[in-house]
A and B are shown apart, each in its own frame.
Chain A
């Protein structure tokens, strides 16, 4: 068994154990209905988390994700409801804005040599503030195209519904995994996260790759924002506050190292599902208050980082340990 796959395996095993334990207590959890809702309810988080995976593998971080989701929702809602645009045109406009936004952050990170944490924090303020300046109220979206997409689903055996947005998330994960593990851009991202100096000496176009990574993250956050607006049929400037933390949590639980250079897109998928499982379990239980979600997710984060630490301490001999001592 490949040693580098161990954290991923640990995540999968823990998810399966947790799911089995939950099903043991509430047999109703093992239905296509619940599984279908898993995908639909977490679609926007999953899509944003794919972008976050790329950013974190490259050794960076993107705190602007939640704000971009909120901004996209407001922009799309305003274009459709106030200005009467067709949703597809509004989507295209949102993608262009998000791509420019991400590219600008990437440019600042690379050329001004400012840490990604601070740049994307400023980006978060800008996107959230921009959305609030456009409108402070929730703008409803009432368009036949919207209702058509949001009610689009395939019936699964057992009464479950596989919604369009759920499928879209799965598609984003599949494409993300292929891009990360099978393309030149993907290997550049890993190289950058491993060691930016060596990557640059090996001929990795650092500037271009950095800009592409943050553009990708913002574009995926924009897609997540569109999915979120499909889900709620509205745009609200304070929507999806703190989603960047959930996304970072999902990525970390999925086995990606925050220092960069190591991680799997599939792991993030399992991470998102595990977060969804915690929420669904607490809803199923009924007696647990909502704050237990936060406590359990915090505990899971702790569990996984300690686990990763132990796995890496066991696999990396000598050099790494001495460096940190």
Chain B
């Protein structure tokens, strides 16, 4: 029997998201207005979902990686590579589905490479994925030969800008991925295995978990997610920009996971909350844009927001709370 207690929906992340959305509403009264036009929904709220989708997709893969006590710095570069491969294939005359398959294969291969470095060679994840982060963008530029490859293939453009049941396609893809991965980790033992490896890899291995295979699989999923995000971003602008596609998005994805309560020390994660984290980040970005503040404030506000959320989540705040609680009880 499925049971989703309402209390579980009220936590730091959802309160923060609602807070940011309300703040946007105060700054820009038309924020919650949603219109139905040309068979799809339009509005700032839909825009937050649509623009937040690539980071949300990255965050889904990133969360699984971080839960194993790792990190995947290469996702931004993998996005650029996937976009470059897809664009080059359609420009070369291949049909759209071949381009999508090609891009996904590249993402999968990148993930397998990262996973092999981490699981088989025992290299720290941050440095193992740094290799592809640095080299990947160079490879993407090599594929596009330094220029922005533009295309008008209907399949790719549909993935980037189309709509399904009134919702923008990126949102549909992100939602489907979120549900799929959540079911995979929560309805099977995979989630438990991931947490076990994140807490203590040797203990998990000794307990019979095939940690190497699991790690490779987790990085492969992250690579796949990055490739999907890369196709969306390329389809959105109808071109592959090897220099700027997915630039610094790995940081946003990590941030989304951390805001979502996933511990960087491994062992505790929530896919859904990471997606909420991605939406919080995007709601801040959109809010600053629609309320007319210069976009330069974005980074400063983001820094303040991270600090605030981290302070609330930190063990120090927890200790402070217990200390206050104890004192109050003493006083009573």
A133 lies within 8 A of B135 (CB): no
- Bound state CA distance, A324 and B133, in angstroms? 25
A113, A130, A136, A298: the one contacting B138 at CB < 8 Å is: A298
B111-163 contacts to A (CB < 8 Å): 117, 121-124, 126-128, 130-139, 141-142, 146
- Decide yes or no: A289 and B141 within 8 Å by CB, A298-B131, A305-B128 being known contacts: yes
- Bound state CA distance, A309 and B137, in angstroms? 25
Q: Is B324 an interface residue (CB 8 A)?
A: no
CB closest residue in chain B, given A108: B307
Residues of B close to A291: CB separation below 8 A: 137-139, 141-142, 146, 242
- Bound state CA distance, A115 and B123, in angstroms? 19
Residues of B close to A133: CB separation below 8 A: 294, 296-297, 300
B202 lies within 8 A of A323 (CB): yes
How far in angstroms is the closest Cβ of chain B from A222? 18
B121, B134, B146, B306: the one contacting A122 at CB < 8 Å is: B306
B130 lies within 8 A of A245 (CB): yes
A47-95 contacts to B (CB < 8 Å): 61, 63
- Bound state CA distance, A138 and B170, in angstroms? 37
Chain B at the A interface: SS class: helix
Q: Is B314 an interface residue (CB 8 A)?
A: yes
B128 lies within 8 A of A324 (CB): no
How far in angstroms is the closest Cβ of chain A from B308? 10
Q: Is B310 an interface residue (CB 8 A)?
A: yes
Q: Is A114 an interface residue (CB 8 A)?
A: yes
- Decide yes or no: A126 and B303 within 8 Å by CB, A245-B130, A301-B134 being known contacts: yes
Q: Is B196 an interface residue (CB 8 A)?
A: no
- Bound state CA distance, A311 and B303, in angstroms? 40
Q: Is A13 an interface residue (CB 8 A)?
A: no
B139 lies within 8 A of A302 (CB): no
Q: Is A306 an interface residue (CB 8 A)?
A: yes
A245 lies within 8 A of B307 (CB): no
Q: Is A128 an interface residue (CB 8 A)?
A: yes
B310 lies within 8 A of A112 (CB): yes
Please tell me the size bucket of the interface on A: 35 or more
CB closest residue in chain B, given A110: B316
- Bound state CA distance, A117 and B306, in angstroms? 12
B127 lies within 8 A of A258 (CB): yes
- Bound state CA distance, A9 and B277, in angstroms? 45
A122 lies within 8 A of B201 (CB): no
B135 lies within 8 A of A294 (CB): yes
A61, A113, A290: the one contacting B315 at CB < 8 Å is: A113
Residues of A close to B123: CB separation below 8 A: 305-306, 309
Q: Is B12 an interface residue (CB 8 A)?
A: no
B296 lies within 8 A of A136 (CB): yes
CB closest residue in chain B, given A306: B121
B135 lies within 8 A of A295 (CB): yes
B135 lies within 8 A of A299 (CB): yes
B315 lies within 8 A of A125 (CB): no
B300 lies within 8 A of A126 (CB): yes
A258 lies within 8 A of B135 (CB): no
- Bound state CA distance, A305 and B146, in angstroms? 29
Q: Is B321 an interface residue (CB 8 A)?
A: no
CB closest residue in chain B, given A313: B122
Residues of B close to A114: CB separation below 8 A: 310, 314
The 26 listed contacts between A and B (C-beta, < 8 Å) are: A108-B310, A114-B310, A121-B251, A122-B302, A122-B306, A126-B300, A129-B298, A129-B299, A129-B302, A129-B303, A130-B300, A133-B297, A245-B130, A245-B133, A245-B134, A249-B130, A252-B130, A258-B126, A258-B127, A289-B141, A294-B141, A295-B139, A298-B133, A301-B134, A305-B131, A324-B202
- Give me the interface of A with B, judged by CB distance under 8 Å: 61, 63, 108, 111-115, 117-119, 121-123, 125-126, 128-130, 132-133, 136, 245, 248-249, 252, 258-259, 289-295, 297-299, 301-302, 305-306, 309, 322-325
Closest 10 CB pairs of A and B: A298-B135, A129-B299, A294-B138, A291-B141, A126-B303, A129-B300, A132-B296, A295-B138, A125-B303, A112-B314
- Give me the interface of B with A, judged by CB distance under 8 Å: 71, 117, 121-124, 126-128, 130-139, 141-142, 146, 201-202, 205, 242, 251, 254-255, 258, 264-265, 294, 296-304, 306-307, 310-311, 314-317
Known: A125-B299, A133-B296, A245-B134. 6 other contacts (CB 8 A): A117-B254, A121-B306, A258-B126, A291-B137, A301-B134, A305-B121
